[in-house]
Structure formats: C-alpha cells, structure tokens
Structure 1
Amino acid sequence: MIEGKYKQFVTDPEDALPYIEYLKYLADYQFGAEVGNCLFGSNKAFKIQRSVNTWRIRNVLSEDGLFLVLRPQDGLFSLTLASGVSIKECLPSPKLRVIVKDEVASVILEEGNVFAKHVKNVDKSLRNGDEAIVVSEDDKLLAVGKVRLSGEEMMEYKRGVAVTVRERWKIRK
C-alpha cells in the first residue's frame, strides 16, 4: 500500500459490474430519473476504487480516467469533465446546466468561477450545493462545479458567485 513516502488512500481499481445498479440508483437520486442510465448505460467498462479505511466506494473510473467521485461527507457524486460530457450528451438543455454568456466563456475556460451576472440561462430546479455543468450559449462544455445559488437566484441576482468551478475544459494550445 505504501509507495515511496506517500500512502495510498484508495484501493487498486476493481470491476464495477456488481455495483452498477447501485451507482445508477444513486445517480438517479441525485440528478433525476434516467440520469443513471445515461451515465452508466453506455458500453464503457467502469472500475471502482474503495477507501482503504472504510471500504466504501470513493472513485468511479472509466477508460478516460476519473469519471465520478463519491463524496464521503454526504454520499453523493462530484462530477468530473468525463461525466459532464455524458450528462451534456444525454440531457436536453438546460437540464443540470448553467449557461453563461459567450463573452465570458473564454475567461471561464482559463480561470475563476461563474458569477451571477454572467448567467444567461439555468436549470431552475438547481439548488445550492448541487453539482452542475457550465456550458456556453451554443452548449459547449466549459466546466463542472458546485452551485452556490439556486437557479432562480442566479437569474435574479447581479452579484455573487453562482458556481464554484472545480474542473474546467483544458485549452489546447
């Protein structure tokens, strides 16, 4: 378990097939009906990693790398760009989306969070603490993060952080 001087806090990847139904139910609970089939219904082979201390599932991996992270605080998923792409392809706009104005899309790709004044449209059912994907007006994925204002508040307020960005699409130079 110990490589060099760093301790590994998760196990080696194992096949996720026995746990796919559980992961689907959890995604449906968190994101809404049929999102579990959207995320895990593809022909991708998934693997899981467990916590070495509690033996609970912590990471869901796909061929592309880290797909979802299961938060220990509340037992819900944190999105990554790989899962954000799956959600964007599967759900119609504006479901689980925060749509930003085109003039700030390039800034969000480079740094910073999404502010309420830059939000063009949003899924009104989003609440503070929910996971969401940030897209441009033409529905290009920019980032994923945690919502800090409800969907209604994002459209009404002109100040404050709307989404704390966790991971953004890499700009290829």
Structure 2
Amino acid sequence: MNEDLDRLRGIADFQFGHGAGRLLFPDGIRIVYSRSTNRPRHIYLDDTMIANFRPTDALLTVTIAGAERLNQLPGFTGYVVVIDDVLEFIEKGKNLFARHVVEAGPGIRPEDEVIVRDTKGDVVGVGRAVLTSDEMLRFKTGLAVNIRRGRERHK
C-alpha cells in the first residue's frame, strides 16, 4: 500500500507539478485495485473518488473532487478559464471550444489532463486538452478541451 501510494504521489507530481502528490493523496486515502491486474485503479479520500489510474499510459484522471484539491496547489498551470456564457454547458459535461477560452495555463499540451475554471477560479469541469495553451487562446474555432466530467453531473 505505501509503495503504491508513493508511486501515485510521484505520478501526480510529474503530471501536475511539484507538491501535487501530497495534496491530492494525503495519508488516509483508500486505493481500489483492479481484480484482473491487481494494480491501482480508483483512489478515494473518505468516500469520495478523487482520481483514477489509467493503466494505458500510467497517468491519472481526476474527478471534480480531485480537481478542487489540485486547484489549491500554488503555481498550478494545468487550467483553462472559460467565459461565463458557457458555464452551464461545461457543468453538464459538454466540450469546450477555443472561442470560449479566456485564459490557459502556460505549457498545456494536447492530451494533458486540465481543470476548467470559471472567471472566479472555481472548478466547473475536468477534461483532456486537445490544443496547446497558445492555440486555445489564438484559435477562434475548434475543440480546445474534451470535457470528461462537469461539476453538475457529479454533485
């Protein structure tokens, strides 16, 4: 268990930045293992799922609860800020288009796990980036983030 926890923290630090591992996975988390491979699959804090381990690329996908924890990380750059007009769609899990992006954290690359925020800084969704942060800001058409979970769907 401790070995898996250390490994998950290391992956979180690599994927989201230094300090993300301890913030996302404090002591007392519960790891659910895959029955077929006996590898970590779901990570819970109390009774709330905060992340999933994706075995295909050995990275993490976060839930809304996990994103809210990551949103507290100083210097976190894996975020996209959207205009208020599209919040209701993002909260329902609809995809985010480049024309609706107000700000994007520096260094976002396609396939990165990103947090979608409103203009006040609150988490409204999580998903996978399709464009780089520069492209999200420059392009006026096209998909920017493939939303995996919206806040409204996971209350």
The normalised TM-score by structure 1 is: 0.82
Whether the 8 Å contact between 1:84 and 1:133 is mirrored in structure 2 is yes
Matched residue, 1:36: 21
Instruction: Establish whether residue 88 from structure 1 lines up as the match of residue 71 from structure 2.
Output: yes
| Backbone CA RMSD of aligned residues | 1.8
Whichever of the two has the greater Rg, that structure is 1
Matched residue, 1:54: 37
Deviation at 1:110, TM superposition (A): 2.8
**Deviation per CA, 1:96-152, whole angstroms, max 9, x where unpaired?**
110001121122223411100000000121100010110001111100111111111
Which segments of 5 or more consecutive residues in structure 1 lack a partner in the other structure?
1-15
Aligned letter for 1:57? P
Q: 1:135 to 1:104 in 2, by over 3 A?
A: same
Matched residue, 2:136: 154
Name the SS for the 1:165 alignment partner. Answer: strand
Whether the 8 Å contact between 1:17 and 1:46 is mirrored in structure 2 is no
Instruction: Establish whether residue 164 from structure 1 lines up as the match of residue 146 from structure 2.
Output: yes
Q: In 2, Cα distance between the equivalents of 1:73 and 1:22?
A: 16
**1:117-128 correspondence runs (5 A):** 117-128=99-110
Matched residue, 2:95: 113
Whether the 8 Å contact between 1:64 and 1:82 is mirrored in structure 2 is no
Deviation at 1:171, TM superposition (A): 7.1
Aligned residues: 154
Counting aligned pairs with the same residue, the percent is: 30
Instruction: Establish whether residue 133 from structure 1 lines up as the match of residue 118 from structure 2.
Output: no
Whether the 8 Å contact between 2:93 and 2:148 is mirrored in structure 1 is no
The normalised TM-score by structure 2 is: 0.91
Deviation at 1:91, TM superposition (A): 3.3
Name the SS for the 2:55 alignment partner. Answer: coil
Q: In 1, Cα distance between the equivalents of 2:143 and 2:47?
A: 30
Which segments of 5 or more consecutive residues in structure 2 lack a partner in the other structure?
none
Instruction: Establish whether residue 103 from structure 1 lines up as the match of residue 88 from structure 2.
Output: no
Matched residue, 1:69: 52
Q: In 2, Cα distance between the equivalents of 1:128 and 1:108?
A: 19
Matched residue, 2:9: 24
Q: In 2, Cα distance between the equivalents of 1:17 and 1:63?
A: 17
Q: In 2, Cα distance between the equivalents of 1:106 and 1:92?
A: 27
